[in-house]
């Protein structure tokens, strides 16, 4: 009972460029096996190289040619979807397409108008002020979403590591991470797939919001806020003497921590 491999003449097919790959064909001679295809698969995984030209093995295709003679095609590549993995099995991507967000304060009031020679009330940048409150407005917003892809040995993706990923999901970085300062990156979680008997392909999803210092809201200044902290404003009635009107203006600003911090170094990226 044995399986032996010999490389087929002129079998190597190489693709260079954006999605490099190598295909190598072997002939497998089988002696004394009943389930020959299963025996060849087991022997191929154990015998044929895991990498070629620094490219990891992606697949093994087995085809019967004759009794006790099979063809085994092994493909080595770095490709992951539309991305190209580096030689260490990593890839990065990002997306800055935005959404919308509601703001209650303008950057500045460009102009205001009132009846005749009267002065328009000064709401100190508050938007959509009415007797019931400050409505604000939805504006286009920037986002910076990025993904990190890693090829990880199966032995490292154990229950403990999966618990680390779960525990950090929804948290922000408590220290510098991939060049971003503490408090500016939130971890949205990871997706993983077993791509071979020995390797996982894991995609880690993150989003960046810049930290800010020296912000001003109305007449309140020197406000500092980390990226994923939440800033909200209290508006109180006030009298605008020039306009002789009752207005609502910012009277206090609060910066709240709304998500927990986590040690992203335990992701081992």
List b or e across 96-122, with b for residues whose CB sees 16 or more CB atoms inside 10 angstroms.
eeeeeeeebbeeeeeeeeeeeeeebbb
Integer CA distances (angstroms), 219 to 44, 104, 124, 125, 253, in order? 73, 15, 7, 10, 11
pLDDT tens digits along 80-126: 443 445 555 678 888 888 778 888 888 888 887 877 777 888 888 88
Mean pLDDT across the chain = 86
Q: What is the pLDDT of residue 81?
A: 43
Integer CA distances (angstroms), 71 to 14, 15, 22, 52, in order? 18, 21, 16, 19
Other CB atoms within a 10 A radius of the CB of residue 164 amount to 16
DSSP string, 45-99: HHHS-SEETTEEEEEEEEEEEETTEEEEEEEEE-EETTEE--TTSEEEEEE---E
List b or e across 203-229, with b for residues whose CB sees 16 or more CB atoms inside 10 angstroms.
bbebbbbeeeeeeebbebeeeebbbbb
pLDDT tens digits along 161-213: 999 999 999 999 999 999 999 999 999 999 999 887 788 999 999 999 999 99
Phi-psi region of 259 (alpha: psi -120 to 50; beta: other; left: phi over 0): beta
Phi-psi region of 168 (alpha: psi -120 to 50; beta: other; left: phi over 0): alpha
Domain positions in the chain? 2-77, 90-97+141-210+261-267, 102-140+211-256
Signed CA dihedral, 67, 68, 71, 75: sign only? positive
pLDDT at 6 over 60: yes
What are 20's two structure tokens? 């490099």
Contact 174, 231 (CB under 8 A): no
Q: What is the pLDDT of residue 98?
A: 77
Q: What is the pLDDT of residue 17?
A: 64
pLDDT band at 34 (very low <50, low <70, confident <90, very high): low
pTM over 0.75: no
Mean pLDDT of the 227-254 span: 86
């Amino acid at each position: 009972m044995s399986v032996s491999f010999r490389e087929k003449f002129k079998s190597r097919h190489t693709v260079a460029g954006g999605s490099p790959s190598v295909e190598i064909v072997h002939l497998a001679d089988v002696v004394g096996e009943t389930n020959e295809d299963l025996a060849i698969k087991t022997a191929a995984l154990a015998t044929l190289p895991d990498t070629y030209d620094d490219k990891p093995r992606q697949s093994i295709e087995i085809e019967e040619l004759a009794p006790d003679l099979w063809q085994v095609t092994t493909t080595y590549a770095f490709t992951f979807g539309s991305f190209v993995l580096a030689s260490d099995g990593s890839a990065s991507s990002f997306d800055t397409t935005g959404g919308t967000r509601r703001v209650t304060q303008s950057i500045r009031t460009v102009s205001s108008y009132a009846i005749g020679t009267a002065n328009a009330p000064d709401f100190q940048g508050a938007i959509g002020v009415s007797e019931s409150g400050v409505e604000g407005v939805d504006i286009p917003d920037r986002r910076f979403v990025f993904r990190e892809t890693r090829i990880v040995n199966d032995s490292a993706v154990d229950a403990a590591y999966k618990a680390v990923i779960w525990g950090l999901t929804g948290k922000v970085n408590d220290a510098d991470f991939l060049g971003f300062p503490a408090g500016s990156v939130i971890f949205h979680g990871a997706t993983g797939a077993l791509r071979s008997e020995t390797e996982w392909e894991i995609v880690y999803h993150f989003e960046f919001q810049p930290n800010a210092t020296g912000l001003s809201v109305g007449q309140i200044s020197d406000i500092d806020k980390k990226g994923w902290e939440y800033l909200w404003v209290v508006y109180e009635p006030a009298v605008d003497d020039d306009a002789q009107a009752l207005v609502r203006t910012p009277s206090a600003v609060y910066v709240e921590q709304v998500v927990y911090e986590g040690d992203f170094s335990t992701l081992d990226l």
